[in-house]
Amino acid sequence: GQSLEQPSEVTAVEGAIVQINCTYQTSGFYGLSWYQQHDGGAPTFLSYNGLDGLEETGRFSSFLSRSDSYGYLLLQELQMKDSASYFCAVRGADSGNTPLVFGKGTRLSVIA
Amino acid sequence: DAGVTQSPTHLIKTRGQQVTLRCSPKSGHDTVSWYQQALGQGPQFIFQYYEEEERQRGNFPDRFSGHQYPNYSSELNVNALLLGDSALYLCASSLKGFWGQGNEQFFGPGTRLTVL
């Protein structure tokens, strides 16, 4: 089976940088994804790492180390609208069409 | 271009009843996955439909069943409802065989099911 661990809550100040870590255990691995979900909303895709290293998309970056079974999401220049839950998710098998397994989510609160 | 749509938005049922939830995938997508999200938890995979067949299934009892139509829309049926079935039910669509950005899934707004 697969399991993911991420902090349950993080609080950060507007304009600052925050890092949300994710460690995973899977029988196979086909990439780590990150999703954002605002209260009452649908999860929306943020980023994907299939290989080791850093992927940057605007203010958001995501990192993966397959040897450490570890990744993180980095949010820069935090804005109030970034307050949301952030989920890491993996595909545990060797196919891009296998279902996503989600972590329990990290609730980010951005304060003034 | 319409995204993923789901209906109804909210639903209240009593124990033992049956419910049907509906989903229309994003235009151009052919694969629909259903997830259950309990309060404060991450989405949990129920099953996935492609070419009108259930292709993969998560750890859910057979009270949970589904269907996919030729136009790719899908239904989730839950029989003999239990209190523990209260959750947000999310539908996600994707394009099978697309290996690009991790086969990104597009989620609908969900159906909030309350079982009393």
B39-95 pLDDT, tens per residue?
Answer: 999 999 999 998 899 988 889 999 999 999 999 999 999 999 999 999 999 999 988
As a whole number of angstroms, the distance between CA A22 and CA A26 comes to 13
Q: Amino acid letter at A38? A: H
Q: How does residue A64 score in pLDDT terms, banded at 50, 70 and 90?
A: very high
Neighbours of B40 (CB within 10 A): 10
Nearest CA in chain B to A49: B102
For residue B97, is pLDDT > 70?
no
Question: Looking at residue A92, what is its pLDDT?
Answer: 65
H helix or E strand, kind and range, residue B49: strand B44-50
As a whole number of angstroms, the distance between CA A91 and CA B15 comes to 34
B93 and B105 Cβ atoms separated by less than 8 Å = yes
Q: Do A96 and B102 touch (CB under 8 A)?
A: yes
Residue position matching structure tokens 């109030």: A80
Q: Amino acid letter at A110? A: V
Q: Do B103 and A41 touch (CB under 8 A)?
A: no
Nearest CA in chain B to A41: B109
Report chain B residues whose CB lies below 8 A from the CB of A42.
4, 90, 107-110
Peptide bond into A99 cis (omega under 30): no
Distance of CA A9 to the CA centre of its chain: 13
Q: Do B42 and A45 touch (CB under 8 A)?
A: no
Question: Looking at residue B94, what is its pLDDT?
Answer: 86
Report chain A residues whose CB lies below 8 A from the CB of B107.
35, 42-44
B99 and A96 Cβ atoms separated by less than 8 Å = yes
Q: Do B43 and A104 touch (CB under 8 A)?
A: no
For residue B102, is pLDDT > 80?
no
Q: Amino acid letter at A27? A: S
As a whole number of angstroms, the distance between CA A97 and CA A23 comes to 22
As a whole number of angstroms, the distance between CA B17 and CA B40 comes to 25
Residue position matching structure tokens 């296998």: A98
Q: Do B105 and A102 touch (CB under 8 A)?
A: no
φ, ψ dihedrals at A16, nearest 5°:
-85, -175
For residue A95, is pLDDT > 60?
no
Neighbours of B51 (CB within 10 A): 11
Average pLDDT over residues A31-46: 93
